[in-house]
Amino acid sequence: MSDAAGLITTLESLASDAEREKYTRYFAPDADAPFIGVRMGAVFELAKAAIDLPTTELERLLEQPTHEVRALACSIMGKSAARPKTSEGRRTELYELYLRRHDRIDQWDLVDLAARDVVGVYLLDRAPLSRLAASGFWPERRTALVATFAFLRRGELDDAYGLAETLADDPEPLVQKALGWVLRAAGDIDRDRLTAFVEAHAATMPRVALRAAIEHYDKPGRARILAIR
């Protein structure tokens, strides 16, 4: 499919009340971002078929209020950026669109669908990460963290720990969850460095981040760190 209107029509044809009800388990009701009840598996399959959708049409999807429509846009962006044969010009367009319309990428799952491959893989200059981490809009702070998974896959830890220092006491739980996941992944690469970090911050880090960060420790190791006050 080559346009946003056709994709929206297809999504609407896949919607069900039963599926819409399931989303209430993971998202607070939001009249400004309604769900129509399309399985994410169906969204992802549609994204594969529309992987070359022009960025002008992707922006039209992002402008829609329906959550699954914006999830489709983010899934297309992530899949397109990750595809080896995608041109550098296309990756630049996707990166610029993501940052320019971050106001529409405003839920944790939308960030997670695209931040690593659209933002993290693209970045050479790390300056945007600092700007995102300092944002008052929590999805941008989550983007900064999720983007570092692209660096962690290459064994590069400094960006993740730099952001962890900045966001260690972030008040938003959905940022804290992402922080914990990033630290856990960093610890899988260098356990000693993670241990040093959590020992230094355990007394003040929110528990949601700390517990996620040390999930791969053995039980005595987790208990010792959680007891630090």
Residue 206 belongs to domain with CATH number: 1.25.10.90
Task: Specify whether the CB–CB gap between 196 and 164 falls below 8 A.
Answer: no
Indicate whether 103 and 131 sit together in one domain.
Answer: no
Domain final residue pick, 122, 150, 185: 122
Indicate whether 97 and 44 sit together in one domain.
Answer: yes
What confidence category does residue 140 fall into, taking pLDDT thresholds of 50, 70 and 90?
Answer: very high
Stretch 35-52: mean pLDDT: 96
Indicate whether 63 and 6 sit together in one domain.
Answer: yes
Domain final residue pick, 73, 88, 122: 122
Backbone angles phi, psi at 212, to 5 degrees: -65, -40
Q: Where are the beta strands (DSSP E) in 65-182?
A: none
Indicate whether 156 and 74 sit together in one domain.
Answer: no
Indicate whether 193 and 109 sit together in one domain.
Answer: no
- What is the span of the domain harbouring residue 145? 126-229
The pTM of this model reads 0.91
Stretch 20-27: mean pLDDT: 80
pLDDT at 148 over 60: yes
The total domain count for the chain is: 2
Q: What is the pLDDT of residue 112?
A: 97
Find the length of the chain: 229
Burial class of residue 42, CB neighbours in 10 A (0-12, 13-18, 19+): middle
Indicate whether 115 and 3 sit together in one domain.
Answer: yes
Using a pLDDT cut of 90, give the percent of the chain over it.
Answer: 88
Task: Specify whether the CB–CB gap between 94 and 81 falls below 8 A.
Answer: yes
CA atoms of 104 and 60, how far apart (whole Å): 11
Tell me what the pLDDT averaged over the chain comes to.
Answer: 94
| CA-CA-CA-CA dihedral for 87, 93, 96, 102, to nearest 10 | -110
Indicate whether 9 and 71 sit together in one domain.
Answer: yes
CA atoms of 52 and 38, how far apart (whole Å): 22
Chain segment 66-115, per-residue pLDDT in tens: 999 999 999 999 999 999 999 999 999 999 999 999 999 999 999 999 99
Indicate whether 104 and 150 sit together in one domain.
Answer: no
Indicate whether 97 and 201 sit together in one domain.
Answer: no
